[in-house]
Amino acid sequence: MKEFDLIGRYFADGGHQRKDVIIGIGDDCAVTSVPSNQQLAITTDTLVSGVHFLRDSPARSVAYKAVAVNLSDLAAMGAEPAWISLSLSMSEVDEAWLEEFVKGLYELTRYYSVQLIGGDTVRGPLAMTITAQGFIPPDVALKRSTAKPGDWIYVTGTTGDAGAGLALLKGELSAKENDEAYLVKRHLYPTPRVAVGTALRRIASSCIDVSDGLLADLNHILALSSCGATVHVDRLPVSSALFSTVGAQDAYRYALTAGDDYELIFTVNEEQRGNLETSLASTGVKATCIGQVTGHKGKVDLKLYDDPYVLSDKVGYEHEF
């Protein structure tokens, strides 16, 4: 057996076992069963060492994040996660690293009842590609292209934290111990908003997750929906840790432009706002209304209270570590 086939042994049990997995890891393919009343949502994301995570990131974080960003894409579509496949490229077999990696992987998949159904392990620079699949009933997928002028814009949780966490890890910022721990954790162990995603089915008019930064990702919705927006910077949900670390002005900058928070941005029309409140209550996750979709295609008006807000340089989060 080749050295790299051995790596497969670390993943052999697939973690959480699902009844809809007919054949799991170990054959040419996995075989699974999709409920007859559901469609399949499929997403693929790759993380490369030194590009998408710091070279010295803990293995547990790397795996956790690789799963989280994929589950976040499912959540942004309103899908319920089911299975993942993992392709792992490593330059050498490092057993201690692998053990921690498996720990991080199964931590998140067990929590969300997701089964690892297969993959590949190859020799190469450290990188991993996960394909995640989930279920969604017909005609309820949350798209980017279906926001309408007048819809309210919401964002879950707080944004900017992960970007500040990264800056702390790179030594570009300093913070009080508790704040640093919180912000770094937001960068290393992001929470995919899985329950919110399914709660938004039939309620949100569009949805996307925050990977590139709030403004950049909102712009994806606006571009595909041929709309514009007014965003009230003073209403942005900012954590007290971020606020006390960088101050108000920079907190807005982080909240608007830093990436990797994996919160959801979504739009809701006026009639659905009541349903939204009820539906979100069941998830225990707070969402904040930060503005409104307009008909001014391609134009985003930032406001601080009643004045126009001019964004200074963005945090410059360009996936270049």
Residues that bind a second copy (CB under 8 A): 2, 22-23, 26-34, 36, 39-48, 51-52, 73-74, 76-77, 79, 83, 85-87, 89, 117-120, 122-125, 127, 129, 131, 133-134, 136, 138, 141, 143-145, 207-209, 224, 318-319
CB 204, min distance to a second copy, A:
13
Whichever of 87 and 275 has its CB closer to a second copy, that residue is 87
Residue 321 CA: distances (Å) to CA of 209, 257, 264? 21, 16, 24
Q: In angstroms, what is the minimal distance from the CB of 118 to a second copy?
A: 6
Bridge partners of 89?
Answer: 122, 127
Closest distance between a second copy and the C-beta of residue 207, in Å?
A: 8
Residue 84: CB minimum distance to a second copy, A: 10
Determine the 3-state secondary structure of 140 from DSSP.
coil
Q: How do beta strands 127-136 and 39-48 pair?
A: antiparallel
Helix/strand/coil for 33 = coil
Neighbours of 66 (CB within 10 A): 26
Quick one: 281 or 311, whose CB is closer to a second copy?
311
H/E element, 163 = helix 161-169
Q: Which is nearer to a second copy, 68 or 251 (by Cβ)?
A: 68
- For a second copy, the closer CB: 57 or 245: 57
Do the beta carbons of residue 186 and residue 254 sit within 8 Å?
no
How far apart are CB 232 and a second copy at their closest, in Å?
Answer: 25
Judged by beta carbon, residue 247 or residue 298, the one nearer a second copy is: 298
Positive or negative, the CA dihedral 50, 52, 57, 63 is: negative
Task: Identify the bridge partners of residue 84 per DSSP, sorted by sequence position.
Answer: 116, 132
